[in-house]
């Protein structure tokens, strides 16, 4: 009889962020993903806590993709004594490298500013981790080829298969003692402009399934019409259009859509600034990994030539001081940090400002507050009245909706022994549970943070 495999949910359980799943077998210990919690303060505070496992005993970490909520805790793992391998596809590791270094730099800068301006409750304010910590994590990166079975031990192997979502993202088929543990990671859309549809698995004895949009369908929006309307209004009112964007995938998608509108003469040739150093770095990866996406290389070059890519913070302030209609795409996508906050501090109280939220807004983020109609937002210790026009484009999401998740599951030939709904807020996960039970009659569980199971 095969020994039991233990799984502990160290993140993305009852919430969307902090993806971390601890696997312990008779001869190996490893993590699937190692992400940061974002959003609610009580979740973010968990980032400062050591994991409730012996980190120094971990053999490896396997990454589904490079997003912060799947990779951002890696430097903290190093601080706790991790010395194993960090495995992922080449594009995923390239994205993770950019995100970790950027996050570490922001952590250090924000701690420095908090100490200088004296707005932190902590004296002194410290970064969660430093650039040196991030570099130590990056040194452990090991690239894995997609679709190829990788042996971890005699009875453990895994395979990474394309999940859409972002460049290099994969779901994981983990074979332990001839049982398939299927980790969906974040699944992408079937009709994404940038990426091919996700591959579909044929078998899963235990399924760990994301449920971010488990309770809804993405609306059928005319994104081009929404952008054209907003652009025409800022031109009439001499305003500014701010687009809060994730640096990975969303920024490239928005750039591509705007470029196509310019090319078709559907919008005037007004300045477009891509003010996201991390987004610019990620865009270069689209050139480096052309086989991983659908944008023709000549289009990528044309986009870079047409829009201004902003790196220096000095240039940010020059753009702020301009007295003409302009479009700015900046991160972060949920307004938790980044250059978008500099623009918001200057423009959020102006009714001629248009702010478009372009993706999922987690609980506790400024983006969620604005989406829900707050009259003021707090940025670095100060409140700013909200008078700008706020709009959200939901259909650009890189996450599969309920219908697409169910379609993905339909390809699984067997009846899984158990299905665990992860990476979703409680309401979304519970609605998805009901839908899946009626569709497949599967045995479904919604785990809580730090729950342990034996399979």
Q: For the residues 287-311, what does the mean pLDDT come to?
A: 91
The whole-number pLDDT of residue 350 equals 97
pLDDT for position 294: 94
> Stretch 171-177: mean pLDDT, rounded?
97
What is the rounded CA–CA span in Å between residue 327 and residue 346?
Answer: 15
pLDDT tens per residue across span 302-348: 988 889 999 999 999 999 999 999 999 999 999 998 899 999 999 99
What value does the mean pLDDT of the chain take?
A: 95
Q: In this predicted model, what pLDDT tens digit does every residue of 53-95 receive, in sequence order?
A: 999 999 999 999 999 999 999 999 999 999 999 999 999 999 9
Domain boundaries, the chain: 6-216+398-454, 223-392
What would the mean pLDDT of 227-231 be, rounded to a whole number?
Answer: 97
For 113-154, the pLDDT digits (tens) are 888 877 767 778 899 999 999 999 999 999 999 999 999 999
DSSP secondary structure, 122-181, as one string: SSS---SS-HHHHHHHHTTEEE--TT--EEEETTEEEEEEE--SSTT-EEEEEEETTEEE
* Model confidence at 1: pLDDT above 60: no
**pTM for this model (two decimals):** 0.92
| pLDDT at residue 199 in the model | 97
Q: How far apart are CA 397 and CA 172, in angstroms?
A: 22
H or E segment at 68?
A: helix 68-71
Mean pLDDT across 99-124: 85
**Residues with Cβ < 8 Å from 414, sequence gap 6 or more?**
203, 204, 205
CA distance 109 to 93: 24
Can you tell me the mean pLDDT for 215-223? 93
CATH architecture of the domain formed by 6-216+398-454: 4-Layer Sandwich (3.60)
CB-count burial class (<10 Å; 0-12, 13-18, 19+) for 76: buried
pLDDT in tens, 242-283: 999 999 999 999 999 999 999 999 999 899 999 998 999 999
User: Over the stretch 437-449, which tens digit does the pLDDT of each residue have?
Assistant: 999 999 999 999 9
Q: What is the pLDDT of residues 367-416, one digit of tens each?
A: 999 999 999 999 988 999 999 999 999 889 899 999 999 999 999 999 99
pLDDT at 380: 86
Q: Is the peptide bond before 248 cis (omega within 30 degrees of 0)?
A: no
d(CA 326, CA 310): 14
Bridge partners of residue 308, in order along the sequence: 273
What is the pLDDT averaged over residues 150-174?
Answer: 97
Write down the CATH number for the domain with range 223-392: 3.40.50.10890
């Amino acid at each position: 009889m095969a020994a039991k495999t233990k799984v502990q949910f160290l993140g993305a359980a009852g919430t969307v962020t902090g993806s971390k799943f601890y696997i312990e077998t008779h001869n190996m210990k490893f993590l699937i993903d190692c992400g940061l919690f974002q959003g609610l303060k009580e979740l973010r505070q968990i980032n400062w806590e050591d994991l409730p496992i012996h980190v120094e005993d971990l053999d490896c970490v396997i990454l589904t993709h490079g997003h912060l909520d799947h990779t951002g805790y890696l430097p903290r793992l190093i601080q706790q004594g991790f010395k194993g391998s960090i495995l992922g596809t080449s594009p995923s590791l390239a994205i993770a490298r950019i995100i970790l270094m950027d996050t570490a730099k922001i952590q250090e800068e924000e701690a420095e500013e908090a100490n200088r301006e004296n707005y932190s409750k902590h004296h002194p304010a410290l970064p969660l981790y430093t650039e040196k910590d991030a570099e130590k994590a990056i040194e452990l990166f090991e690239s894995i080829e997609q679709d190829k079975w990788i042996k971890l031990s005699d009875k453990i192997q895994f395979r990474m298969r394309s999940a859409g979502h972002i460049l290099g993202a994969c779901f994981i088929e983990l074979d332990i003692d001839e049982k398939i543990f299927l980790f969906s990671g974040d699944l992408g859309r079937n009709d994404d402009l940038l990426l091919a549809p996700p591959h579909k698995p044929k078998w899963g004895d235990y399924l760990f399934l994301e449920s971010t949009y488990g309770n809804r369908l993405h609306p059928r929006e005319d994104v081009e019409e929404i952008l054209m309307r907003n652009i025409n209004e800022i031109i009439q009112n001499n305003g500014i259009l701010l687009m809060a964007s994730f640096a990975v995938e969303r920024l490239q998608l928005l750039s591509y859509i705007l470029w196509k509108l310019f090319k078709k003469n559907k919008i005037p040739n007004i300045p477009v600034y891509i003010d996201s150093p991390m987004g610019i770095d990620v865009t270069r990866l689209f050139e480096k990994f052309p086989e991983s996406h659908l944008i023709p290389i000549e289009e990528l070059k044309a986009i870079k030539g047409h829009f201004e890519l902003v790196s220096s913070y000095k240039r940010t302030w020059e753009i702020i001081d301009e007295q003409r209609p302009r479009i700015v795409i900046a991160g972060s996508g949920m307004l938790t940090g980044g250059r978008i906050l500099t623009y918001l501090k200057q423009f959020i109280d102006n009714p001629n400002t248009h702010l478009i939220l372009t993706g999922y807004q987690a609980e506790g983020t400024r983006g969620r507050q604005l989406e829900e109609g707050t009259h003021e937002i707090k940025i670095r210790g100060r409140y700013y009245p909200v008078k700008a026009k706020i709009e959200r484009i939901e259909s650009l999401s890189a996450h599969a909706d309920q219908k697409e998740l169910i379609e993905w599951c339909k390809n699984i030939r067997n009846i899984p022994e158990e299905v665990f709904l992860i990476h979703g807020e409680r309401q979304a996960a519970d609605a998805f549970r009901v839908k899946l039970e009626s569709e497949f009659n599967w045995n479904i569980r919604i785990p809580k943070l730090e729950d342990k199971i034996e399979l």
